[in-house]
Structure 1
Amino acid sequence: MLDVTGFRGSLASRQDRRPHAIVIGSGFGGLAAAIRLGARGYRVTVLERLDAPGGRASVHRQDGFTFDAGPTIVTAPFLFEELWRLCGRNLSDDVELRPVSPFYRIRFHDGETFDYCGDPQAMERKVSQLAPGDVEGYRAFMALSEATYRTGFERLGHVPFGSVLDMIRILPDLLRLQCFRSVHGEVARHVQSEKLRQVLSFHPLLIGGNPFSATSVYCLIAFLERAYGVHFAMGGTGTLVTGMVRLIEGQGGRVVCNAAVRRIAVENGAAAGVELEDGDFLPSDIVVSNADSASTYRHLIDPQFRRRWTDRKIERARYSMSLFVWYFGTNRQYRDVQHHTILLGPRYRGLLTDIFQRKILADDFSLYLHRPTATDPSLAPDGCDAFYVLSPVPHLEAGIDWQVQAEPYRARIAQYLSQTLLPGLDDAIVTSRMTTPLDFENRLSSFRGAAFGLEPVLTQSAWFRPHNKSEDIANLYLVGAGTHPGAGLPGVLTSARILDTVVPDAMVFAER
Structure 2
Amino acid sequence: MSRAVPSADHVVVVGAGLAGLSAACHLVGAGRRVTVVERDDAPGGRAGRIRRGGYLFDTGPTVLTMPHLADEAFRAVGTSLREHVELLPLHPAYRARFADGSSLDVHTDAHAMEAEVERFAGPREAAGYRDLRHWLTRLYHAQMRRFIDTNFDSPWQLLTPDLGRLAALGGFGRLAPRIGHHLRDERLRRVFSFQSLYAGVAPARALAAYAVIAYMDTVAGVWFPRGGMHALPRALAGAAAAAGAEFRYGSTVVRLERSGQRVTAVVTDRERIPCDAVVLTPDLPVTYRLLGRAPRRWVPLRFSPSAVVLHLGTDRTWPELAHHTLSFGRAWERTFDELTRTGELMTDPSLLITRATATDPSLAPAGRHTHYVLAPAPNTAVGPDATTWGDLAPGYRRHLLDTLEQRGLTGIGGAIEEELLVTPADWAARGHAAGTPFSAAHTLAQTGPFRPRNLVRGLENAVVAGCGTTPGVGVPTVLISGKLAAARITGPPRPGHSAHSAHSGHPVRPLPSPIAGAAHDGP
Same-fold call, TM cutoff 0.5: yes
Paired with 1:148 and 1:110, the residues of 2 have a C-alpha distance of 32
Measure, in 1, the Cα distance between the counterparts of 2:320 and 2:121: 25
Offset, 1:240: 1.1
Q: Are 1:263 and 2:248 counterparts? A: no
Q: Write the deviation string for residues 51-83 of structure 1: whole angstroms up to 9, x where unpaired.
A: 322111010001000000001111111112222
Quick check: 1:448 aligned with 2:448?
Answer: no
Q: Provide the residue aligned with 1:12 in structure 2.
A: none
Find the partner of 1:202 among 172, 194, 205.
194
- Answer whether contact 1:41 1:505 (CA < 8 A) is retained: no
Aligned match of 2:497: none
Letter of the structure 2 residue corresponding to residue 47 of structure 1: V
Matching of residue 172 in structure 1 with residue 156 in structure 2:
no
- Residue number among 21, 42, 45 corresponding to 1:52 in the alignment: 42
2:468 maps to 1:482: yes
Given that 2:327 and 2:353 are in contact with CA atoms closer than 8 Å, whether structure 1 keeps it comes out as yes
The change in CA–CA distance for 1:208 and 1:277 in structure 2 (over 3 A counts) is farther
* Secondary structure of residue in 2 paired with 1:159: coil
Check the 8 A contact 1:99/1:232 in 2, yes or no. Answer: yes
Q: CA deviation at 1:186?
A: 1.5
Where does structure 1 lack aligned partners over 5 or more consecutive residues?
1-16, 507-512
Deviation digits for residues 10-62 of structure 1 (CA, Å, limit 9, x no counterpart): xxxxxxx9821111111111111111111111111111122322111010001
In structure 2, how many angstroms separate the alpha carbons of the residues matched to 1:413 and 1:154? 41
**Matching of residue 412 in structure 1 with residue 399 in structure 2:** yes
8 Å CA contact retained: 2:378, 2:384: no
Structure 1 residue 245 corresponds to structure 2 residue 232: no
C-alpha distance in structure 2 between counterparts of 1:336 and 1:485, whole Å: 36
Q: How many residues align?
A: 481
- Can you list the C-alpha shifts for 1:103-123, whole angstroms capped at 9, x where unaligned? 000111122111101121222
Give yes or no for contact 1:145–1:221 (8 Å, CA) kept in 2.
no
1:66 and 2:56 equivalent?
yes
Q: Give 3-state SS (helix, strand or coil) of 1:114's partner.
A: strand
The equivalent of 1:459 in structure 2 is 445
Bigger mean CA deviation after superposition, 227-236 or 155-164: 155-164
Identity %: 34
Preserved CA contact (<8 Å) 1:45 1:255: yes
Q: Deviations over 1:113-154 (max 9, x none)?
A: 111011212222222233333333322222211111001124
The residue aligned with 2:4 is none
Change (3 A) 1:472 1:343: farther
Against the structure 1 CA distance between its residues 424 and 314, is the aligned structure 2 distance closer, same or farther, given a 3 Å change threshold? farther
Report the AA paired with residue 474 of structure 1. Answer: E
Q: Is the 8 A contact 1:106 1:114 kept in 2?
A: yes
**Contact 2:27/2:490, CA 8 A, preserved across alignment:** no
Name the amino acid aligned to 1:393: A
Deviation of residue 290 (structure 1)?
1.1
- After superposition, residues 66-465 of structure 1 pair within 5 angstroms as 66-132=56-122, 133-169=124-160, 171-277=163-269, 280-297=271-288, 299-303=289-293, 309-310=295-296, 313=297, 316-397=300-381, 398-400=383-385, 401-443=388-430, 445-465=431-451
- 1:470 equivalent in alignment to 2:456: yes
After superposition, the C-alpha distances for 1:417-447 in whole angstroms (9 at most, x for unaligned) are 122242111111000111111111112x111
Q: Deviations over 1:385-440 (max 9, x none)?
A: 11110011011112341101111111111112122242111111000111111111
* Residues 162, 468 of structure 1: 8 Å contact kept: no
Alignment correspondent of 2:495: none
Tell me the amino acid that sits aligned with residue 276 of structure 1.
T
- Give the C-alpha shift of residue 155 in structure 1: 4.2
In 2, the alpha carbon distance for the partners of 1:250 and 1:230 equals: 28
Mapped to 2, the partners of 1:240 and 1:87 lie a distance apart of 15
* SS at structure 1 position matched to 2:148: coil
Conservation of the 8 A alpha-carbon contact between 2:49 and 2:56: yes
C-alpha separation between the residues in 2 aligned to 1:437 and 1:504?
37
Q: Determine if contact 2:121/2:185 at 8 Å carries over to the other structure.
A: yes
Considering only aligned residues, what root-mean-square deviation do their CA atoms show, in Å?
A: 2.1
Contact 1:105 1:341 in 2 (8 A): yes
Deviates more, 1:64-73 or 1:171-180: 171-180
TM-score when scaled to structure 2? 0.87
After superposition, the Cα gap between the structure-2 partners of 1:18 and 1:146, relative to the gap in structure 1 and judged at 3 Å, is: closer
Partner letter of residue 32 of structure 1?
A: S
2:490 maps to 1:504: yes
Deviation at 1:227, TM superposition (A): 4.8
Cα distance in 2 for partners of 1:248, 1:120 equals 37
5+ residue gaps, structure 2, are 1-6, 493-523
Q: Relative to 1, partners in 2 of residues 1:166 and 1:154: Cα closer, same or farther, differing over 3 Å? A: closer
SS in 2 for 1:124: helix
Q: Describe the SS at the equivalent of 1:57.
A: coil
Q: Deviations over 1:464-492 (max 9, x none)?
A: 00122224422111111111111111100
**1-side partners of 2:139 and 2:68: how far apart?**
19
Looking at structure 2, the residues matched to 396 and 244 of structure 1 have their Cα atoms a distance apart, in angstroms, of 33
Alignment CA distance shift 1:195-1:244 (3 Å): same
The structure with the largest helix share of the pair is 1
Matched to 2:462, the amino acid is L
Runs (4+) of structure 1 exceeding 4 A deviation are: none
Q: State how far apart, in whole Å, the 2-side matches of 1:208 and 1:384 are.
A: 34
Q: SS of the counterpart of 2:46?
A: helix
> CA contact under 8 A between 2:24 and 2:34: conserved in structure 1?
yes
- Take 2:469 and 2:330, find their aligned partners in 1: how far apart are those partners? 34
The one-letter amino acid paired with 2:181 is R
TM-score, scaled to structure 1: 0.89
State the distance in 1 between where 2:398 and 2:44 align.
Answer: 29
Secondary structure of the residue aligned to 2:472 is coil
C-alpha displacement at 1:214, in angstroms? 2.6
Report the 3-state secondary structure (helix = DSSP H, G, I; strand = E; otherwise coil) of the residue aligned with 1:391: strand
Residue 272 (structure 1) shift: 2.7
Q: What is the SS of the residue equivalent to 2:490? A: coil
Assess if the C-alpha contact under 8 Å between 1:294 and 1:453 holds in 2: no
User: In structure 1, what is the Cα distance between the partners aligned to 2:17 and 2:169?
Assistant: 32
**Mean CA deviation greater in 401-410 or 205-214:** 205-214
1:11: which partner in 2? none
Measure how far apart 1:221 and its partner are.
Answer: 2.8
What is the distance in 1 between the residues matched to 2:92 and 2:152? 36
For residue 342 of structure 1, give the secondary structure of its aligned residue in structure 2: strand
Q: Aligned letter for 2:413? A: D
Q: Is 2:198–2:438's contact at 8 Å kept on the other side of the alignment?
A: no
Q: Which 10-residue stretch deviates more, 24-33 or 87-96?
A: 87-96
Q: Secondary structure at the match of 1:430?
A: strand
